[in-house]
């Protein structure tokens, strides 16, 4: 993968950060994306450069089509190609459905689903033109099994799976592979906010008995992007410690 170019949305922290670093360790030049936290994104860029890869930091809110287009344009201007897109940007606005307001629904759908459409739309023509590319979108076990208080999040992550399977069928003839990763409960800021008692209950449902780390998810993404996954498309890779649904 040395010398290839990847865009990772939402890559200033958490899973996105680890994905960006995992790609950089394989010699991939990374376009980092952030919406608010420029300092964290620049810190990740410094780590990438220390690994010997190149990094470009771009502020863009992928909810907006024009900003996603600008993100891809910056990648093309700097590197002249786009080999990998990782649709990682995502948010939660957890509420039981009876308490969920329209803004809670729309904000999650806008970022988690519309953001995937916008970023993918921005890279698809360059990938088709070069007749190669890999798109990996981060779904979730919640999109596969649902979860109380997360109807908006579950809907967005389930939709990513349908999007992935459909786009994979369209893009195969262009040699562009499209896959998804569905993490289980992972040690991120989202999990930190969960009360300890609830986390203990979740752990009893995970056969391996531990939460995933962001690095675990990053390794799965890397597998789908490199030569090892060259014959995999339209697939959802579950990284959930055995919580199969």
Point out the residues that are catalytic: 153
Nearest residue to 73 (alpha-carbon basis) of 19, 22, 33, 21: 33
Neighbouring residues of 197: CB distance < 8 A, sequence distance ≥ 6: none
- Residue 85, SS3? strand
In the numeric block, which tokens belong to residue 182?
A: 């569905």
- Residue 239, SS3? strand
- The arrangement of strands across the sheet holding 29-34 comes to 55-59, 29-34, 5-8, 84-87, 133-138, 176-183, 236-239
Neighbouring residues of 202: CB distance < 8 A, sequence distance ≥ 6: 185, 194, 211
C-alpha atoms less than 13 angstroms from C-alpha of 244 in its C-beta half-sphere: 4
What's the length of the chain? 245
Query: How far out from the chain centre does Cα 159 lie?
Result: 14
Cα-flanking dihedrals φ and ψ of residue 138, to 5°?
-90, 110
């Amino acid at each position: 993968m040395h010398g290839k170019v990847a865009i990772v949305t939402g890559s200033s922290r958490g899973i996105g950060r680890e994905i960006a670093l995992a790609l950089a360790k394989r010699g991939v030049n990374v376009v980092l994306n952030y919406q608010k936290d420029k300092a964290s994104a620049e810190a990740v860029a410094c780590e990438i450069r220390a690994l010997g890869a190149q990094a470009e930091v771009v502020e863009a809110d992928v909810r907006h089509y024009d900003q996603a287009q600008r993100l891809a344009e910056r990648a093309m201007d700097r590197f002249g190609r786009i080999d990998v897109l990782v649709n990682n940007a995502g948010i939660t606005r957890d509420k039981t459905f009876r308490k969920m307001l329209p803004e809670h629904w729309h904000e999650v759908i806008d970022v988690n689903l519309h953001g995937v459409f916008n970023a993918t739309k921005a890279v698809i023509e360059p990938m088709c033109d070069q007749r190669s590319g890999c798109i990996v979108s981060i779904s979730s076990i919640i999109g596969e099994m649902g979860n109380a208080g997360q109807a908006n999040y579950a809907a967005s992550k389930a939709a990513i799976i349908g999007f992935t399977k459909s786009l994979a069928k369209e893009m195969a003839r262009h040699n562009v592979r499209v896959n998804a990763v569905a993490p289980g409960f992972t040690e991120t800021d989202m999990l930190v906010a969960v009360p300890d008692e609830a986390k203990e209950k979740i752990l009893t449902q995970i056969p391996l008995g531990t939460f995933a780390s962001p690095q675990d998810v990053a390794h799965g993404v890397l597998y789908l992007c490199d030569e090892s996954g060259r014959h995999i498309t339209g697939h959802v890779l579950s990284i959930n410690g055995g919580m199969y649904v």
